[in-house]
Structure 1
């Protein structure tokens, strides 16, 4: 079983059920599955075959879903790419990933033209109509005549039929290659098999009790693994309805909620912060939610409690990473939720905390979190050495420092690489950030380590404040009352906003790069 064949099952069982709402359009499961079959057949008619690589350079739209499931039905390997990447970033992934076809927006025609001379292996560029005013002058038919490599999505869709059977794929065939953000060196392509993708989506949907009654807001970027599994694949496997937001905005989410009465929302902590801070947000608009899901980064406990109190809905915080498809933990729905915890291991998956020798440490002790289960990637594409370093004896080493309590709840302490060592003492950035988030005049905070001539490293804080009158000395005094001396910031800098990636995750490494390379 794989997610493309599961979609076929759902369409046969619940054909008239609405699969997704997008802008003013509502599409049933039968209509969606028919489009997927048409598109898979169209791709085959272009000469693409099982095992070929196809890239999706798209935002949140039906084109992404049809492209993803159509490619998987044909047995292709899908590489989702962030559409706001630079030409160099895209070019590296397309080249390293041996991509033969690209599905992207009509807006991207100029960029595709720039990349064409560098990417001789790309045989087809399939262009989707964006409806964006910036693309009004783009004539897809004319472009196709001038450049045979370029085709319109609509034309490819018309080449196939609903009777397309699909390719025979094995569960250990690579389904998706996710390029990591490349915090150290070039991005690495995590190869996820059909079994990885299917098992994690099924386990997440089951663990979070998703059903055909659910209406899930899909506002996270679809090219990101958090959205792919939690807010796209899992709901579709369970027959739920997607409420697709083209992009995240507080105004848009409240409007979508008033119209469609969602039951599930998934987001990163920054999204929750924006929703909480939005002055025009009416708690009644979110009253239909039964569950909120947070991941992608640790959520400050103060934000979690404030959001839950304001909107009267529980947030279940979880944990995952691209190499694990991605989810390994969630706070359970049938037992007490513990603020600050990423929860317990979900079904089929084992998590444990180990020391430098790979030996499990006692509850309460900090070590590296490692993961084992059917969700763990088969390896990094064309990077055998890096694969062997990441997967040892079947366990994926996450690079995250964590601890486990006596009841099996895990707590992320920090990234192993972001640990700050001040005069021989370990300082975890998240601990200081939690203190800062508790301050009523602080909206956001990030903490990094910077070189210090005597202590090795020092703590540097970056803060977004509500009140411009809030001073550095006031924040320092606040910290002195709550932190041990060696944990105290050496500096506090006020910013208009913190650097974030496209999912809204605060990028400590970007801050560090600015500090060390001004």
Structure 2
């Protein structure tokens, strides 16, 4: 048994939520277009749902799978699981059947909570007992009496709370286990790093199986703000929400800005207040950053985080409203320690690309059932992210690229992100991705896929731009134009480069 003085510091997420719910029982906690729940309402439903889970035999450490679009029940499941020590596996409803089967089999859930329109997809790949959202879930919750065990079953903040799946761009998805400790620390990091007020709300339009929505929705509930649940990118509804709620972080993913900017220009509703907007500035055309921030009159978050790390490690910088950035150097976030290292784990000098390694309280607890990967990625007390950065003399860092995206052409290292930044700087380019292609002479060569707006540049103009800003060996050997909507994307809006590379390889096979 731990001494009482030590146990007093081991808070869990449910207990903090319960305290917040008692403190602001009449404040609006969540709305999703179907219902509005105050904190008092939410706590009541969470406690009843926790009792339902316990009655169905769910024990601490057991996994509850959820397959659902964004709706208030998603938060209820996560908070109820927190109260009984269960772990919620947040399944991606966009996955192909084999991928979905892998994600379910990996974590071996004892129960699944499934939205009716996704029930057939779940049952096609798993025999796990299901509780269906809608009348079945509501009837079970209404009939349940709170179980006194709720809130007493988590004795260690290192206990897992959610499993969020990585994108699996080089194989099947991995399940990142995120603890009570990490979720609480992420909530505190959000509040401190973004200067959020307790009542600042959050618009959860990105899928809840993605870290940005689950992380920040839980963080918002722990502070006492309102979570507005929206099922996917719906610019009109998002624009309306901005006129009704004060928002802390208005998330905008790569690939989403163009549609929201168009809505905002067509319907410039008054905005109640936004602390910061955007995300992942490296993947967004600089002119779109200026347009979005100008329309919202709020700074852009020059962020760099991950499912595994939360908001840190590089999210302490903002781009002023209306400014087209000419550099995207990042400042290291508070509450984390960062090193840039070579393949032998030696720190690299300033100006030399090195893999970012990080440690801190927001860090995840490893990949589920992946001992070899964990042994490789967690070395010398740090988590190695696989992302390359250069440190500047002023302490800021510049994103170079994912290490796995490196193109070796004629013995030279080419980082696709360097080429993409040049292409995205053109005012009529709306997206660009550079991938590797087999080259008989050089081994590999870069090929650029580009989407343009109206009256966009031709290949010659873009190649001239590259000649002006890039060394010869870094220039793309070919520019391919495709519609913006044809870019294959992950749930976070990132272009899936492996799909583009497959397109090129398939063409060569056919010829």
Asked if Structure 1 and Structure 2 have the same fold, meaning a TM-score greater than 0.5 normalized by the shorter chain, the answer is: yes
Which of the numbers 112, 119, 142 marks the counterpart of 1:158? 142
State how far apart, in whole Å, the 1-side matches of 2:375 and 2:231 are: 38
Say whether 1:473 aligns with 2:457: no
List aligned pairs for 1:203-282, cutoff 5 A: 203-229=189-215, 231-260=216-245, 262-278=247-263, 280-282=265-267
Aligned equivalents of 1:182, 1:409: Cα separation in 2: 30
Alignment equivalent of 1:327, drawn from 312, 315, 328:
312
Residues 295 and 317 in structure 1, CA contact (< 8 A), matched pair in contact too: yes
User: Does 2:318 correspond to 1:313?
Assistant: no
The count of corresponding residues between Structure 1 and Structure 2 is: 491
TM-superposed deviation, 1:37: 0.7
Residue aligned with 1:511, SS: helix
* Aligned partners of 1:351 and 1:371 also within 8 Å: yes
1:175–1:386 CA distance, 2 compared to 1 (3 A)? same
SS at match of 1:481: helix
Q: Contact 2:18–2:43 at 8 Å: present in 1 too?
A: yes
Instruction: Name the counterpart of 1:191.
Output: 177
Q: CA deviation at 1:390?
A: 0.6
Q: 1:481 to 1:343 in 2, by over 3 A?
A: closer
CA displacement, residues 295-336 of structure 1 (integer Å, 9 cap, x when unaligned): 496444343233323432101122222222463231247999
Post-superposition CA distance 1:151-201 (Å, at most 9, x none): x21133134334643342111222222222222222222222221222122
CA drift of 1:202 comes to 1.9
- Cα distance in 1, alignment partners of residues 373 and 348 from structure 2: 25
Q: Which stretch shifts more, 362-371 or 254-263?
A: 254-263
Gap change, CA 1:296 and 1:60, over 3 Å in 2: farther
Offset at 1:286? Answer: 4.4
Cα pair 1:402 1:413 within 8 Å, conserved: yes
Give the drift of 1:470: 4.0
Q: Does 1:201 align with 2:187?
A: yes
> How much does 1:225 deviate?
1.1
CA contact (8 A) 2:67 2:93 kept: yes
- Whether 1:7 aligns to 2:7 is no
Give yes or no for contact 1:103–1:126 (8 Å, CA) kept in 2.
yes
Alpha-carbon separation, structure 2, partners of 1:309 and 1:260: 19
Normalising to structure 2: TM-score of the pair? Answer: 0.89
Contact 2:432 2:450 in 1 (8 A): yes
Q: For the residues of structure 2 that align with 1:9 and 1:394, how far apart are their CA atoms?
A: 34
Does 1:294 find its partner at 2:279? yes
Task: Look up the SS of the partner of 1:412 in the other structure.
Answer: strand
Q: How far 1:279 sits from its partner (Å)?
A: 7.2
Aligned partner of 1:364 among 330, 351, 367: 351
What CA deviation, in whole Å up to 9, does each residue of 1:80-129 have, x standing for no partner?
0111212211111111111111111111232233224xx4xx2x201113
> Do the aligned residues in 1 keep the contact of 2:299 with 2:318 (CA within 8 Å)?
no
- What is the aligned partner in structure 2 of residue 95 from structure 1? 105
1:375 to 362, 365, 383: 362
User: What per-residue deviation string (whole Å, max 9, x for no partner) do you get for residues 39-81 of structure 1?
Assistant: 0011101111111111111111101000111112111111101
Following superposition of structure 1 onto structure 2, how do residues 89-128 of structure 1 map, counting pairs within 5 Å?
89-116=99-126, 119=127, 122=128, 124-128=129-133
Matched residues in 1 for 2:320 and 2:348: separation? 25
Per-residue CA deviation, residues 440-466 of structure 1 (Å, 9 max, x unaligned), is 222211111111111121111111122
Alpha-carbon distance between aligned partners in 2 of 1:205 and 1:104, rounded to the nearest angstrom: 32
Unmatched tracts of structure 1, length 5 or more = 130-139, 141-151
**Alpha-carbon distance in structure 2 between the residues aligned to 1:374 and 1:261:** 28
Q: Which residue of 2 aligns with 1:414?
A: 401
For residues 326 and 93 of structure 1, do their structure 2 counterparts lie closer, same or farther at Cα, with a shift above 3 Å needed? farther
Indicate how the Cα distance of structure 1 residues 462 and 61 shifts in structure 2: closer, same or farther if over 3 A, else same.
same
| Counterparts of residues 457-468 of structure 1 (less than 5 Å) | 457-467=444-454
Matched residue SS, 1:510: helix
356 and 335 in structure 1: CA distance in 2 versus 1, 3 angstrom threshold: farther
- Contact 2:196/2:248 (CA < 8 Å) preserved in 1? no
Deviation at 1:283, TM superposition (A): 4.5
Partner of 2:421: 434
Task: Tell me the residue number matched to 2:91.
Answer: 81
Aligned pair in 2 of structure 1 residues 443, 287: CA closer, same or farther (>3 Å)? Answer: farther
Q: How many angstroms apart in 2 are the aligned matches of 1:209 and 1:340?
A: 24
TM-score, with normalisation over the residues of structure 1? 0.88
Deviation of 1:35 after TM superposition, in Å, equals: 0.9
Post-superposition CA distance 1:370-398 (Å, at most 9, x none): 10112223322222111100101210010
Match of 1:58 among 60, 68, 75: 68
What is aligned with 1:384? 371
SS in 2 for 1:380: coil
Is the alpha carbon distance of 1:502 and 1:333 closer, same or farther for their aligned partners in structure 2, counting shifts above 3 Å? closer
Of 279-288 and 188-197, deviating more is 279-288
- Show the counterpart of 2:387: 400
Distance 2:369 2:271 in 1: 45
Question: After TM superposition, where is structure 1 displaced by more than 6 Å over at least 4 residues in a row?
Answer: 333-339
